[in-house]
């Protein structure tokens, strides 16, 4: 039991370190993207935008008296590279991680739970599935994501509401009671469906392809344990495939996430937001089928390195802690 507990803690530490490194590498890409969006179309009061730290998507609401907000900082940029250079030069390198700390409060625990649950579920399912053990990552990935989304979806909604209505964390209880009183418990899970439609297929495909790719590369290189390079490549390729296949659901989910955030900002949370199907139909009617695949390249550019960094750091962390524990056992036995 003690060994199982130690392994569980090791996995949690590995996923936590991977989550922090991923957010440090990926956040600058999204900060620059948001600054370019704000330059093209300034954010008025009540306007929402989606902020991604490489781990989770977060809805940010623009409020009055927020003229010094990082996304409203003045600057004229001629593209992504120019924005990177000018932001670092004028505002300092720390500006590339603007808005990151508040989002990590939720993103890191969500990632830790997701990765740790996946590992535990995969190990249990491999034993139970017998001859179908190869499909265990598919099911484990889907179940782990359902659990993570279900736990953190209400927290993200509450965070958005608190931000838009300037509530403090002390008023958190009243915010929850108000939402439940007005619309019932189900109101805390608004946007849960579209998130599942994107994240569950993504997670299932990602883990299945990752495990297959990792095993193939190990066999190809005649090694038993995967190296950092093998996990990095497998993560990048599987993340790219999953992001392309689930792109239409990402487009719908982002639009609904912004819509719900803006309704909350205008204190119209009682008004029903559009269903996933109606949003999808509207996008196709306005922009054709191609509208569901808008942002194809930016999504792959963001998701591929995020998946690669997260999984390689996680696997490296697990191997490091495992080796450390084995060395401690050996020294205690001698």
Q: What single DSSP character describes residue 194?
A: H
Could you tell me which of 96, 55, 113, 100 has the C-alpha nearest to residue 305? 55
Compute the C-alpha angle 176/201/239, nearest 5°: 105
Distance (Å, whole) CA 46 – CA 63: 6
Mean pLDDT of the chain: 83
Cα angle 219, 222, 228 (rounded to 5 degrees) comes to: 80
Please state whether beta strands 57-61 and 48-52 pair in parallel, antiparallel, or not at all (unpaired).
Answer: antiparallel
For tokens 């009243």, name the residue: 174
Range in 99-103, 181-185, 272-276 the model is least confident about: 272-276
pLDDT band of residue 277 (cuts 50, 70, 90) is confident
Three-state SS at 75: coil
pLDDT tens, residue by residue, 31-75: 888 888 788 777 777 677 888 888 888 878 776 555 567 777 777
A 10 A CB-CB count for 285 gives 9
User: 223-236: per-residue pLDDT in tens?
Assistant: 999 999 999 999 99
121 and 140 Cβ atoms separated by less than 8 Å:
yes
Distance CA 302, CA 305 (A): 6
- What is the reported pLDDT for 169? 58
pTM for the model stands at: 0.84
Q: Mention every residue, 6+ apart, whose C-beta is less than 8 A from residue 302.
A: 26, 29, 30, 52, 54
Extended beta strands in 45-105, E state: 48-52, 57-61
Domain boundaries, the chain: 202-318
Q: Which two tokens stand for residue 275?
A: 């269903």
- Burial (CB count within 10 angstroms: exposed 0-12, middle 13-18, buried 19+), residue 271: exposed
- pLDDT mean over 120-142: 93
pLDDT for res 270: 45
Above pLDDT 70, what percent of the chain?
87
Q: Cα dist. 221→214, 215, 227, 319 in Å? A: 11, 10, 10, 19
The pLDDT of residue 138: 96
């Amino acid at each position: 039991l003690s060994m199982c507990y130690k392994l569980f803690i090791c996995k949690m530490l590995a996923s936590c370190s991977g989550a922090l490194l991923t957010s440090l590498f990926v956040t600058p890409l999204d900060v620059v993207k948001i600054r370019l969006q704000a330059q093209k179309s300034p954010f008025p009061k009540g306007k929402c935008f989606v902020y991604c730290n490489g781990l989770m998507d977060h809805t940010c609401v623009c409020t009055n008296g927020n003229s010094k907000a990082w996304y409203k900082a003045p600057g004229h940029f001629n593209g992504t590279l120019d924005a990177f250079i000018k932001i670092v030069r004028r505002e300092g390198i720390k500006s590339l991680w603007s808005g990151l700390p508040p989002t990590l409060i939720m993103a890191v625990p969500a990632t830790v739970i997701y990765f740790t649950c996946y590992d535990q579920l995969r190990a249990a399912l491999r034993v139970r599935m017998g001859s179908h053990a190869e499909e265990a990552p598919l099911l484990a990935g889907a179940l782990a994501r359902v659990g993570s989304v279900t736990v953190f979806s209400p927290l993200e909604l509450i965070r958005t509401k608190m931000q838009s209505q300037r509530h403090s964390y002390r008023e958190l209880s009243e915010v929850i009671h108000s939402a439940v009183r007005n619309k019932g418990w189900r109101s805390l899970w608004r946007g849960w469906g579209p998130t599942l439609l994107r994240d569950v297929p993504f997670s299932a495909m990602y883990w299945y392809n990752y495990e297959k790719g990792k095993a193939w590369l190990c066999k190809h290189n005649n090694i038993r344990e995967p190296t950092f390079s093998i996990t990095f490549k497998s993560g990048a390729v599987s993340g790219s495939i999953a992001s392309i296949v689930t792109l239409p659901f990402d487009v719908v989910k982002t639009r609904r996430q912004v819509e719900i955030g803006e309704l909350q900002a205008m204190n119209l949370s009682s008004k029903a937001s559009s269903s996933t199907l109606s949003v999808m139909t509207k996008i196709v009617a306005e922009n054709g089928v191609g509208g569901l695949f808008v942002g194809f390249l930016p999504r792959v550019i963001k998701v591929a390195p995020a998946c690669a960094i997260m999984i390689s750091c996680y696997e490296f962390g697990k191997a490091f802690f495992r080796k450390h524990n084995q060395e401690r056992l050996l020294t205690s036995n001698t």
